[in-house]
């Protein structure tokens, strides 16, 4: 059972979590938690302030984070545990201050130090939640995730070393879980050398599925702040989306990759491998059955299951300055994106030009400089990808026609269908995003197959 940031943001939220776990304790749950609320963002802000030379500012932010964390932790834990709770948390904040002071002197934030700092969120939240469970008379034990989740050295976006991790998980967790509830932090791990690493933003979902696969869990539950996977991103279409009751692993992975933040894109991988169903559930409304993500496609009368969006997309248009049909043009382009470790989401090509989208423009300047040796390049920022996902898209005639009809008033910059068999994506200006998603949602979800949608 994984509980995200909002599900553990306050003592009140943690108590809700405790009751949800307690009601299911016969199933011997293992609990994975995110950092409380926006703690990870705050830790990163502290690190950035420190390296920018704002020593006092960063120490003040640490103090604010300390006050918030201690206040909620005291309310969450029973009075008998306050002494140990406070001394443990104070130790963490002292270490954090030392780290920030060190960064302020160095003036440089390496990925490794970034991980050292951002790991404190999950290290503290998991400790607090384990203590809070004791208030409801649940025997809980805190497990430092860094002992069992082993990763490579790609700090800030490390990949798990599955064999080693599964071995450690199966040697540790089932024995502990027999008579206690194991509580561990998501997101964090350590390298084989024991250096703290993280799985990338939103990575606690991934931790939950790694743990579920490693111990052969019967189910992986992702508890969050929405009723499940919805037919559209609720931050774009407020209150309009419907709950998707069941969806396939492939569809969920595609939605996650194209911006449905409710699930980290890698979450389904361990689950697929061990064929463990993944559930998305709402910690504020535990009675709602949520979304069930399973191996096979689910028969569905609707062509589309959900619409995902990715904002802040940059469109890169590359036009060959050499003669027509110069072979090797695509190769040269993609070698440059590879060289500068910039990943490409969508591609469209014509004879002498290529358009593509990227979501991380950090190294685009270097890429463009080299691209200009053999092509003309133009960049358009402020774009968005809208991605319709559904297993049925490929079998249903007329989906593209319906998309274009719905988008008749919107300037579509790029389209892509067929690459993954279950998605149809378009690029529009971010300014048109709400309108585009609203129109597509009306088109594809005005009638619903009630076996699949709520």
The residue within the footprint of ligand ADP, chosen from 56, 108, 179, 235 (CB under 6 A), is 235
Helix (H, G, I), strand (E, B) or coil at 277: coil
Min dist. Cβ of residue 389 to ligand ASP (A): 22
Min dist. Cβ of residue 139 to ligand ASP (A): 26
Residues 6+ apart with CB under 8 A from 401: none
CB 233 within 8 A of CB 226: no
Interface ranges with ligand ASP (CB under 6 A): 4-5, 34-35, 40, 121, 186-187, 201-205
By a kind-dependent CB cut-off of 5 to 8 A, residue 201 interacts, out of ligand ASP, Mg ion, ligand ADP, none, with: ligand ASP
| Torsion sign, CA atoms 30, 210, 36, 259 | negative
**Binding range to ligand ADP, per CB under 6 A, among 155-163, 222-230, 361-369, 391-399:** 222-230
Helix (H, G, I), strand (E, B) or coil at 356: strand
Binding-site size, ligand ADP (CB under 6 A): 18
**Binding range to ligand ADP, per CB under 6 A, among 5-13, 176-184, 324-332, 385-393:** 5-13
Angle between helices 82-106 and 111-118 (to 10 degrees): 160
The residue within the footprint of ligand ADP, chosen from 48, 74, 261, 319 (CB under 6 A), is 261
Helix (H, G, I), strand (E, B) or coil at 271: helix
d(CA 389, CA 304): 6
Q: How many CB atoms lie within 10 A of CB 140?
A: 18
**Binding range to ligand ADP, per CB under 6 A, among 86-94, 226-234, 357-365, 368-376:** 226-234
**Closest residue to bound Mg ion by CB:** 202
Min dist. Cβ of residue 38 to ligand ASP (A): 8
Question: For residue 294, what are the β-bridge partners?
Answer: 248
Taking residues 11 to 50 in sequence order and writing x for each that binds ligand ADP by CB under 6 A, - otherwise, the string is -----------------------x----------------
In this structure, the chain runs to a length of: 454
DSSP H or E stretch at residue 314? strand 306-320
DSSP classification of residue 432: G
Our CA angle for 288, 145, 131, nearest 5°, is 65
The residue within the footprint of ligand ADP, chosen from 114, 115, 233, 391 (CB under 6 A), is 233
Phi–psi pair at 92, nearest 5 degrees? -60, -45
Task: Decide: is 5 part of the binding site for ligand ADP (CB under 6 A).
Answer: yes
Task: Decide: is 202 part of the binding site for Mg ion (CB under 5 A).
Answer: yes
- The residues that touch ligand ADP, with contacts defined as CB under 6 A, are 4-7, 34, 202, 224-226, 229-230, 233-235, 260-262, 306
- The residues that touch Mg ion, with contacts defined as CB under 5 A, are 4, 202
């Amino acid at each position: 059972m994984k509980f995200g940031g909002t599900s553990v943001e306050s003592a009140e939220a943690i108590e809700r979590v405790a009751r949800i776990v307690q009601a299911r304790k016969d199933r011997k749950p293992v609990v994975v938690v995110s950092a409380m609320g926006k703690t990870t963002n705050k830790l990163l802000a502290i690190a950035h302030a420190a390296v920018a030379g704002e020593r006092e500012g960063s120490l003040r932010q640490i103090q604010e984070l300390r006050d918030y964390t201690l206040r909620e932790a005291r309310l969450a834990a029973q009075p008998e545990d306050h002494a140990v709770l406070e001394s443990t948390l104070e130790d963490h904040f002292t270490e954090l201050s030392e780290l920030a002071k060190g960064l302020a002197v160095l003036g440089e934030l390496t990925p490794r130090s970034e991980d050292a700092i951002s790991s404190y969120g999950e290290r503290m939240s998991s400790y607090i939640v384990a203590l809070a469970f004791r208030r409801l008379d649940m025997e809980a034990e805190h497990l430092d995730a860094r002992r069992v989740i082993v990763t490579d050295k790609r700090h800030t976006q490390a990949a798990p070393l599955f064999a080693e991790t599964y071995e450690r998980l199966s040697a540790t967790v089932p024995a502990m879980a027999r008579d206690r509830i194991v509580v561990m932090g998501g997101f964090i791990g350590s390298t084989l050398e024991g250096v703290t690493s993280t799985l990338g933003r939103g990575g606690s979902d991934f931790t939950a599925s790694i743990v579920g696969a490693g111990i052969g869990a019967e189910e992986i539950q992702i508890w969050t702040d929405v009723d499940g996977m919805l037919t559209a991103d609720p931050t774009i279409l407020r209150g309009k989306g419907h709950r998707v009751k069941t969806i396939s692993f492939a569809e969920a992975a595609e939605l996650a990759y194209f911006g449905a933040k409710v699930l980290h894109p890698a979450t389904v991988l361990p689950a697929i491998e061990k064929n463990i169903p993944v559930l998305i559930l709402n910690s504020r409304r535990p009675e709602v059955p949520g979304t069930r993500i399973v191996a096979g496609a689910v028969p569905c009368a609707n062509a589309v299951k959900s619409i995902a969006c990715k904002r802040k997309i940059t469109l890169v248009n590359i036009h060959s300055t050499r003669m027509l049909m110069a072979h090797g043009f695509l190769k040269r382009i993609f070698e440059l994106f590879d060289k500068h470790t910039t990943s490409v989401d969508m591609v469209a090509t014509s004879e002498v030009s290529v358009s593509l989208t990227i979501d991380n423009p950090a190294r685009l300047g270097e890429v463009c400089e080299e691209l200009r040796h053999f092509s003309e390049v133009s960049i358009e920022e402020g774009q968005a990808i809208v991605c319709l996902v559904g297993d049925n898209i490929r079998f249903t005639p007329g989906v593209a026609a319906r998309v274009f009809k719905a988008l008749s008033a919107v300037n579509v910059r790029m389209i892509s269908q067929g690459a993954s068999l279950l998605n149809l994506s378009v690029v529009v200006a971010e300014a048109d995003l709400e309108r585009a998603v609203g129109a597509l949602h009306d088109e594809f979800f005005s009638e619903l197959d009630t076996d699949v949608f709520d």
